[in-house]
Amino acid sequence: MSRLKVLVLHGPNLNLLGGRDPDIYGSLTLEQVNEALKERGSNLRAEVDCFQSNHEGLLADRIQEAAHVYDGLLINPAALTHYSYVLRDTLAACGLPLVEVHLSNIYAREAFRQHSVISPVAGGVICGLGMDSYLLGLEALIRLIEKS
């Protein structure tokens, strides 16, 4: 079987991982997260590309381009989770299998974080497990793609 292609998207401020609120988000840098995802992907016969942006429009552009190139998307939309109808509409329009992940348990945090406008267009959501949210999210996404 040919290798699957997966795009991992990270939203605003996730470039600061490692130094940003390590009690909440852990001490791994974004580069380390991406390396771990690529390694897990290669064990699951999936090629993993990663993209981070602080800009909603750049994420939307990348998602539109991804529709023709990738088999599925793994996204941590960061703060955009809670209010970005742009991201939600773009993800819905692109139609690729989608898993949403969060490092922290957004349901155990401030009220504004407890609602995701992205979840209704995702195949599944994993949160609260730190780096394992991403790794389990990748595994779940690959299963979703294989079923689709």
Binding site residues, ligand DQA, CB under 6 A? 13, 76, 78-79, 81, 102-104, 106, 113
How near is the Cβ of 78 to ligand DQA at its closest, in Å?
A: 3
| Whole-number Å distance between alpha carbons of 98 and 30 | 20
In the block, which residue shows the tokens 């490692």? 18
Q: Which of 70, 83, 85, 102 is catalytic?
A: 102
| Whole-number Å distance between alpha carbons of 43 and 48 | 11
Beta carbon nearer to ligand DQA, 16 or 44: 16
How near is the Cβ of 17 to ligand DQA at its closest, in Å?
A: 9
Beta carbon nearer to ligand DQA, 5 or 109: 109
How near is the Cβ of 45 to ligand DQA at its closest, in Å?
A: 27
Active site residue 85: no
Report the candidate in 78, 54, 71, 74 with the shortest Cα–Cα distance to residue 8.
74
Q: Which of 10, 25, 70, 134 is catalytic?
A: 25
Active site residue 68: no
Beta carbon nearer to ligand DQA, 71 or 77: 77
> Which residues belong to the active site?
25, 102
